[in-house]
Structure 1
Amino acid sequence: MSQTWTTRAETGADIPAVRRIHLAAFDTPLEADLVDALRTDPAWLDGLSVVAADPAGRAVGHALLTRCHVDEVPALCLAPVAVLPAYQRTGAGTAAVRAVLDAARARGEHCVVVLGDPAYYPRFGFGRARAHGIRITLDVPDEALMVLALDGSRSLPRGTVRYAAPFGI
């Protein structure tokens, strides 16, 4: 059931739908609560919270980039990403992720890290962060921490990822 999705930056009217998406996609409210907390944090960057909408305009998927740092170098963190269960594996999540990465590129951002499924994120160009000297303070499988350079003219920073306070990392 693949289709073409409309993507757009989240608006105030989308906030309840984004919360519903995360509550439906995950077993606990942690991701939904994280998005709500990030909206009030300095790490929030307008335009880098993107929804994928169905033909009726209803938000069914969401991808979020917020500010993080690799040591002292500004970077972005992709998390969370969610799709309503009925729309999973339809391309809605892919559309939201591609759109938010394109928005970051257009803003002149350089580096995105993600802690996630190593079978999913490489399709967007993410690769193992450790190969670039990037690590986190959590004990996670090496392949789960990935990085993407949005601008190939600069080298990726090296060091430890520092997430925004709402992540609790």
Structure 2
Amino acid sequence: MIIRREGPGDRPEILAVVEAAFPEPVEAKLLRELFASREYIPALSLVAEAANGEILGHVITTRGWIGKANSLGLGPIAVAPGYQRQGVGSALMHATIAAANGMGEPSLVVLGSTEYYPRFGFVPADSMGINPPDPSWGSHFMALALDAYAPGVHGQFKYSEPFNHL
């Protein structure tokens, strides 16, 4: 398996993986809108590819903000059902974190599983002074301080525009 940036012909297979991983159409619709948004960052749209060229998983990270300071919003991340629990998602996460660090980004936020994301260093966002767009998200709203993180950055997180349509 290799992790690489999304390529020009990958989108149909990426969307098929997302649709298979998430039975409800919400994530696939969101992903289509993220691809078309101003906040789309091509270097942070990564695929996990098998030796035979099959796309096993995908993750996208888009521009977000803590107050007026730049940050990143992670997700959706999807792994084809037949390849889940085999390290594909972890490989995508490690590659995303490394790429974001390499770009000098300060932080990543995610709304997700409190069982999964802490293994990558995510902590409850409020412990870093980052408030969720929806207070009911509680401990499921998490953040990761990257190498360029400035500890004085606090405030409400704002996702890229397509998240407002959920």
| TM-score normalised according to structure 1 size | 0.92
| 1:29 maps to which of 7, 13, 25 | 25
Q: Which residue of 2 aligns with 1:167?
A: 163
Count of aligned positions: 165
Unaligned 5+ runs, structure 2: none
Give the superposition deviation at 1:153. Answer: 6.0
Counterparts of residues 64-79 of structure 1 (less than 5 Å):
64-79=60-75
State whether residues 149 and 156 of structure 1, in contact with CA within 8 Å, keep that contact through their aligned partners in structure 2. no
Tell me whether 1:89 sits opposite 2:85 in the alignment.
yes
Q: Which residue of 2 aligns with 1:56?
A: 52
Counterparts of residues 1-169 of structure 1 (less than 5 Å):
5-151=1-147, 154-155=150-151, 157-168=153-164
Letter in structure 1 aligned against 2:159: Y
| TM-score normalised according to structure 2 size | 0.94
State whether residues 51 and 60 of structure 1, in contact with CA within 8 Å, keep that contact through their aligned partners in structure 2. yes
When the two chains are superposed, the root-mean-square deviation of aligned CA atoms in Å is 1.4
Unaligned 5+ runs, structure 1: none
Please identify runs of 4+ aligned residues in structure 1 that moved more than 6 A.
none
Residue 70 of structure 2: SS of its match in structure 1? strand
Residue 81 of structure 1: SS of its match in structure 2? strand
State whether residues 132 and 156 of structure 1, in contact with CA within 8 Å, keep that contact through their aligned partners in structure 2. no
% identical equivalent positions: 37
- Alpha-carbon deviations, 1:61-117, whole Å to 9, x = none? 111110010111110000101101110000011111111111111111111000000
Give the superposition deviation at 1:56. Answer: 1.1
Q: C-alpha distance in 1, partners of 2:83/2:73?
A: 24
